Each structure stands twice: as structure tokens, then as C-alpha cells.
Structure 1
Amino acid sequence: MKRLFTAFAIASLLFSSIPLRAAEGDIVDIASGNPDFSILVAALQQAELVSALQGEGPFTVFAPTDAAFTSLLNELGITAEALLANGTLSNVLLYHVVSGKVMSTDLSDGMSAPTLNGEEIYIDLTGGVKVNASKVVLADLEATNGVIHVVDKVLVPSDFILDPEPTATAEPAPAEEPAAAQEPAAKDIVEIALGDQNFSMLVSLLQKAGLVETLQGEGPFTVFAPTNAAFDKLLAALGITPEELMAQPDLAKVLLYHVVLGKVMSTDLSDGLVAATAGGESIAVDLKDGVKINQSNVTIVDIEASNGVIHVIDTVLVPAGFTLQTAPAEEARPAIPYTGVTAALPLGALFAATLAGYAAYRSRRRA
């Protein structure tokens, strides 16, 4: 049991900088292939825990990114080298790992779990998902030997002691970047989408449908947002171009099918839950194997905006009434109905804002 916990602690550190899609491989493979986990990987090597996290497992790792480590280094006033030389490094790493494969849907508010260093971590679901005081920013990144949940702060066990020798020789890390990284983003849903090239198609569609202003409203809104790759799959399945998708008379219906009114965090979802969307149809939640909305996998959860929350999905949701038009005519978009907590906000709106940027994205891919 202790060996499993140790592996998890290190895995946690390794996995903090996970991309939109989880790479194939074990926990160490994923961490080693991501530059945002450089400190975590170095710590794992220093503590000689690599082989443990390459074991059969399964392991659950709460993994801090390099930014999380930088924040800790600044707080302690030491360098990364000084942290690696600390005699209690192994205890810190082991504090991030739990034995078994624990998906986000297995967590419950107030739940505690023992870690490899002997202490327990605590789950708080009252405002998103927190492990102790660290927020889970990306959940359910599956590896061949477990699962990784990315956290924004390094978990520090109660028995951690800063070695005086490394501290005396260490140069303090600059405070500006960590301080900025810890500040909560005050961006609305559209601003977040505009700032991420993976949502360029979505933004173009949002602009086309004239829904940008809607998604910049007070809300709150919950958006199940497809990436560019998800739109590529849809275009290939329909055999059409991005321009032809933008010209579809039912474009607004497709976009509105991705939005629900109200701020619904991942911890508010339950298996079999059905929610009304802005398009008038319903979406269904399936938690039997990860998190699914209809047949689309949720790859990133709980991206909080000033006016709601975004959950990233890998497949565009298509309402049952959608009909592909070969020569679609321009049509005015329907107003977004507000019928209460179950009403939906046009995720389609978010999609609408992206076509322009998406054309450039596809051109760069062809180049």
C-alpha cells in the first residue's frame, strides 16, 4: 500500500501541466513529455521514484504544474535546486498520491484519503473541487496505470521542514510571475474562448450567429465547449467546409444545444442527469466511464469565467432536429429563452464567435 501511495505522490507532481488531450502512456511518460512538468520530473528522478510510478498501479495523482512549484519556491524563498536537495522531498511528493484509480465522479465533499507519506488529504466540493487548499484545474486525465488530476498549488504535508543549508544558499525566485498566476481570471466566457486558439472555430461561429454579446452577459452560463479538433470531426462526418457550416440555417440551434443556464460545476453533475438547453432540446449526463454529455467526452472541467463555467468536450453536440442544407439561406437567429435554472445559454453562441479565426487555423494546419 505504501509503495502505491509513493508512486501516486510523485505522479501528482509529474502531471501538473497536462494539455487539452491526455497523452498516451503511463504517468511518468505523460509527465516526461510535457515541459510544464519539468520540476515534477526532476523531483521524481531525485527521489528515485520513477520506477514506482511506472508500475502497474493503478494510481491517482494530484499533480502540480511548474507554475505551482514556482509559487511554492517564491513563498519559501528558495530555488528549484534547493527544493530538490531538501531532505523531506520524498514526503512532499508522496503527499500527492493515492492508491487506486479515483475519478472526479468518485469524490465526495468532506472525503479524506491517506497518501503515501502517511498523512491524509481532504476533498472540498463547496466551490469547485479542492484538495486541501489546492484547486483542481483539470480532472480525469487517464494514463495506462491510473489517473491524474492537475492542481494549482503544491500540497505541503504538516511535517515539512525547510533545510537551513539549502535555504541559506538559495536565490529567491521572482515574485511577480507567481503573484500574477495566483490571481483569479476576471474574464467572461467569450474572452476565455478568444484567448485560446483551440476555440478559434467556436469563436468564429459565435460571431456569425451574433451571440457574442449574449455570452458576455451577466449569466451565469454553463458551456460545453467543443475544440477545433471536435469541429474538424464534425466537418469530416458531414463532408462540408467551415464556410458551409457557418451558412447552415440551423447553426444557431446547434450552438444553443451546448449551453445551459446557471453555473453547473462538475461536482453538480450526476449520472443520468438531463438538462434543457437553449435550443429547446435536452442533453444527458453519463458518469459510468468518465464524464460524458450525450456521446461526447468531457476532457477538461470547471474552467471558471466571470459569468459562468466552461467544460471542454471532444465532440460537437448535434441536436436531433438538425438537417444539413446543401444550399442554406441566411436566417435570423432565434432569441435565447430564459425559463429558469434549466434554461440554456447558447454554447453555440460561443461557437459562433470562432469561424473567422478557425479559417486561419485550418490554413496554418494545411501549411
Structure 2
Amino acid sequence: MKRKIYSSFLTVIILLSIGFVSCLDPAFEERTNYQELIGEFLENNPDEFSMLVELLEKSESMSFLKAYGALTLLAPTNSAFEKFFAESEFSSLSDMDREDLRNIVRYHVITDTIPSTEFVDGRMNTTNMFGHYITTGTFFRDNQAVLMFNKYAEVRQRDIRMANGIIHSINDVIRPELQTAAEVIEADSRFTIFTEALKRTSWFDTLHVGNGPHTVFAIPDAVYKAEGFDSFDDLWADVDPDEGNLLDINNPMNMYVAYHILDKNLRYVSDLVFDRVGLTRVRNEVVTIRPVGVNVLVNDDIFAGIHEPGFEINRDESDRTVLNGVLHVMKEDFRIKERHPFAVYWSVTEQLEIMRMPGVFRRPGDAVVLQPGDLENITWTGGNIFYEGRGGGAANPWVVHGDLFNIMLRPEVIPWVELKTPVLAAGDYKIWICFRGSSAERHPVFFVHFNDIPLPNVIRTSPYNPTNRTERPGYSERELESRGYKFYQWNPDDIAYTRSDDNDPDITRNILESNYIADNRVFAMLAGTITVPTTGSHALRFVGISGTKEFWLDMVHFIPVDEDQLWPRVNTKNGRLVTKEEIHEAYEVYQSQN
């Protein structure tokens, strides 16, 4: 473990953690629950946790874990500390100053209760008290599945439930990441060519002292050498034969390096897979992300029916948290490519502020009140907006991930709402607004504006429309599309109703015969066709016209005009895209088993 490295970014992290430091000696509430608290459990199990107790006492942190709250502790065992001291410059906790000790504590405490059932291969939804994400993943050792944090701390015992949270015991101490992205890359002998490229183009300084977060796709020397580049000069001559001014942001070599850095965005591999696209530090240039089996590929695209092979991320070496971002390692190099419009299926509730709320995002519970100014990328005036998670209010299994926004969109309450869109590549798109319908008589009616340009179709959220099975005269999915409506999602629990046969292969028509979607009125309306002038994020605004009921917003789809507007659909359980063929196959499996 390195001694403290003082930088502006670390200072910010420590300031953000001041709430933790100030809670080191909380006043105890009158105790009504005699189940053990986390701190008491550690004290009562010295054979396993005596060194962790010593750490908590020396850092003046124990009282925090003896107070009621909602915490997750990643608890290193005594053997974990012995391993830590054998590998570090310290021989005991007494060799470390209090700030070093507190950094270790902050790295192992999360202000949320996270059971192992919520672990996925990727980062946790909530940062630790240091401000960093801990990654979780399953690895195989001696033909046994092993769960690890940050790819090296093995979980020995999980889900030890206490009165104030959950403990997961681990066999290693998770080291606080105190080096910047630039320092980590420079210190790794595998990246000498990429390091020189960063330095010669000045991007090294950005990754070292610049404000983060940064997401970097680093290229190992072995990859360059496999392509015939034994040095930076070899690479430079290939990327920029004219060998111009490397500090010019329009220089091909400068742009090449910038294309390997995302634009002030912290994205782990699981985030990249979900986003499907990332805006790079090259103006108007993006990378696309596509999972293929267990592999994740950069710029693996299909254009005009032709497959353009992508470039694989080394998942085993990626998701390396650094002080000011995250580092990924590539198995292959990639260059800037001509970009064409691509579909974006946007789950609007994925706002960073909500995702960081302990115990809230996509979990059962009451609606969360959001006031104007609470969200960076959604602005509005007037009243409050409500986030409804799984099982809350209008949220249900027939909206994607079971969560949505509840918006009183009308001139008297919330006259308008403006959303900052995900990255869109320049081109022409159709915009679909996806929602749950409201009361027929008092449903919200509103305009949609894109970059302050009003779109032609007025959105009416009445459930009595061509999609409702009691209203529609047997429209096919293409007939619905021609009228500006579509079904955008598929719930696997509806598999029993996903009938099809050779005479009537239209899934939409069949699924409506006995499907809750039709009764619960979850559908999408076409707002209009837009031209995205430049690649990047843009403004989407809803302007209320009339209505007294809620607008229940789920998703917005941006689909290129020359692509199928109806397929794929979105799996309501996990948000993944599903094709008509995959649904047919799922039904055939269901039918064979029933």
C-alpha cells in the first residue's frame, strides 16, 4: 500500500467523506432491538476479527458501526490482515497514521444494505465511503465458483445480518486506490507505448491532474507489437504519416489517444454494456459497446447489413478502479470509425442521483420525492416528481425494470420537464415516448420538443387507443405502427400468452388476446421524426397542455428512421433487448414443457 498521495481529487473525496468522520462518535439512541450491531459482532468474534476491531478503534470508527443505520461492511478476517502486512510496507496497524487507517475503513463500509443476491459481475450500485465503487465477480478456482471483490478479495462468508446492516467477511484487505489513471498506466510495464502516446499528446496530464472521472481503454504493448508497432514512433507514423503537431486536438495522433478516453464519465464494463455507447474525448465521436456471449466488444456494428467486427475488452484485466476513474485493458486496438445513427433504448429513471440513493433504485418501497434541482440531467419547474420503484404505485412488472417517473405534467403543476438525452449519433431518428396510460377522462396531454423544436404529434396518454384490446379492431403490429403506436416491451412471465402459429405469426396480435399489457395500458406513442445535428447529448422537453392525472414515464426510444421501429423489444425483467425470433423460441420451450 502506498502512502497518501495528495491531489485535488483526493481532497474532494475526503471532503465528501466528512460525514463519515463526523459520525465517528454518534450519540446512541435508546436501544429497542437486542440483535447484535455490526461493531458488537466483531468484538464478540475475536478469533476472526480482532485485527479489524483494532483498526476500527485506532481510527476512532468503532462507534459508527455500533450505531443504528443501514450499512454493509466488507470485513477482512485476521488472516486477511496478516496477508496485507506481508505484502505492504507496513508490519502492523501501529505503523500507519490515522488517515491511512480511516481510508481503509472508508473503503470497506458502504452506507446501504447490500445482500449477496444483489451482486452482479460488475460494480455495486452504491459507492463505498471513500467514494469509489467496489466490483463484484465470480471466478473459478479448482473447479469451484469463488465470489470476489475487486478481483482479489475472496468472500469467505456472506450475508451475516446484523441490526444495523450486513457483513460479508473477506480473506484480503481491499487496498484504497490512491493513484491516478495516469500513474497506474505509467507504472505498469505493459503499457510503455500507450504511456508515451499519452505524454506526447498531453493527455497524460489530463489523466493525472485533470478533473475526472475518466474511463480509459488502455492498449498493451503486446497488442501493438502484434500489429507491427514496436515503438511509439512506429504507431505515430501509421496513425499520422505527416507527423504533425501532437498537441493539436485535431491532429490524428491526438485524436487517436482521445478516442480511447470517455468524456468525463465513469463507466465500468457492466455500465458500458448497458449504455451501448460512450462519448469519447474526440468531439462528436463515440464508441459502441456490444456483448457477444461472455465477451464485450468495442465498435462491433452492423451497417447496411454488413457486419463490422469489433475489438474485445479484456474483462479479466478491466474494471480497475483508480483515484480519478476506471481503467480497462483491450485485447485489440481500435481506431476512430465513421459513425452511423444507432438505436438508443433509454430507461429514463437511470439518473445517477437516484442510483446512488441507498436502498432505493429499482427496489420495493415507497415513492421517492424529487424536487426541482435534485437531478442534474432532468430539470423542471413547479411541483415535485416522484420516482416509483418496484411494486410502488404505478410501477409494475409491465414497465421495464418495474420502475418509472410519476409526473403531474400540466400547466398548473409542472408545466414542462426537460431531459438531457443519452449520446445520440448524428442522423435522423423517430422518437417514441413509452409510458403507462392514465385515466381516460383526465389523462395528460403534452407536446414534445427536441432542441427547442416542437414535434408534430401530440402525446395523449389515454388508455383508450388502438393498443387497448377492448378498443382496437384487431390491428396488427404494423397497423398500430402506422397509427403512431407500438408495444415496446416483453415480460417473460407472459410466455403462456405468447402464442403464434404459421397462420398468424404476429406476436402483437396474439399476445394481446390474454395479456396484462393490454389491460394495464402500457404502450408507446410516436412523437415525430428528428434530425440530430451533431453526435452528443441533446435536449428533450415535454410541455403540458391539459389533464389532471399523472404522466407515468418509463422509456424513450430513439430509433434510426431506416431501422425496424418495433423490434427488438425490451425485456421488462432485465432491460435487455429481445428479438421476435427469441420470443418464439422461448415459447416453443415453454410449450414443450407444459
**Given the two structures, how large is their TM-score scaled by the length of structure 1?**
0.37
Higher relative contact order (CA 8 A, sep 6+): 1
Give the greater-gyration-radius structure (CA): 2
**Given the two structures, how large is their TM-score scaled by the length of structure 2?**
0.23
Q: Which has the higher helix share?
A: 1
